[in-house]
Amino acid sequence: MRISANLGFLYTDLPLPDRIRAAKRDGFDAVECHFPYDTPVAETRAALDETGLPMLSLNTAPGRPGTGDFGLAALPGRAEEARAAVAQAVAYGAAVGAGWVHVMAGKSAGAAGAEEAFRATLSLACDLAAAQGMGVLIEPLNPRDVPGYHLSTVEQAAETIAALGRDNLKILFDCYHVQITQGDLTRRFAAHLPLIGHVQIAAVPDRGDPDHGEIRYDWLLPAFAEAGYRGDVGAEYRPRGGAPAWLPPLRAALGSAPV
């Protein structure tokens, strides 16, 4: 498994190209990001080429600044904005060689027509991404951190994927969110393995470095590999500072995992 630095949370005092360089310095195998759109594509691409790190994924833009938007795809009445966000993400992602676009659903709060809006946006996203050889991710988020978010369980995400029947639409299985909302990570992961495209990690409950708290990632990630997962792992956590001391031990634990 490649371990990726999520640059939405890591090295945030630096411009995006320097975050990529910092991830290389600290020993990560790849990077992923949230919203890179303020950084010219050429600058991001140059830093990726310089370091040799692949950009695994990026998010669609969250919406209008200062409004509390947390995605647009499942918001009835905002289809035009949602489509524009998808097109922007796919274009930027393709230009930097990203493999995935995470389409942010938004805080639908159970509004009528939300799932229909979500599926329509995702259908477009899958079409645009497929044309670039990319995939689309959807992510259940816990209601403590993001109240009212449209997706809160793995099963709900799986139902959406089954309804659309698109081969390049997968679940972003964020262990932090799933543990808080549902738990039973090992069995839930194995039950949905064919639908899982990417994994993210952080400590629970504080979302800190993934070397403490409720989840033993040095056990869990090898278990995911044993179940058959061959994808990547994104470190999306709020760092305590300094180099990621947890990374070498976790890499050692994964050293004997199936590849």
50 given a catalytic annotation: no
Cβ-proximal residues to 94 (8 Å cutoff; 6+ apart), any chain: 132, 134
Options 139, 155, 159, 214, the catalytic residue: 139
Task: Assess whether 236 carries a catalytic annotation.
Answer: yes
Q: Which amino acid is at 11?
A: Y
The Cβ of residue 25 has, within 10 Å, a number of other Cβ atoms equal to: 11
* Residue pair 247/26 in contact by the 8 Å Cβ criterion: yes
Q: CB of 82 within 8 A of CB of 72?
A: yes
The single residue of 32, 81, 115, 236 carrying the catalytic annotation is: 236
Contact 244/251 with Cβ under 8 angstroms? no
- Secondary structure element (H or E) that encloses residue 106, with its range: none
The distance of Cα 188 from the centroid of its chain, to the nearest Å, equals 18
Q: Which two tokens stand for residue 28?
A: 């990560």
Instruction: List Cβ neighbours of 7 (8 Å cut-off, separation of 6 or more).
Output: 16, 19, 20, 23, 31, 32, 33, 34
Catalytic machinery residues: 139, 236
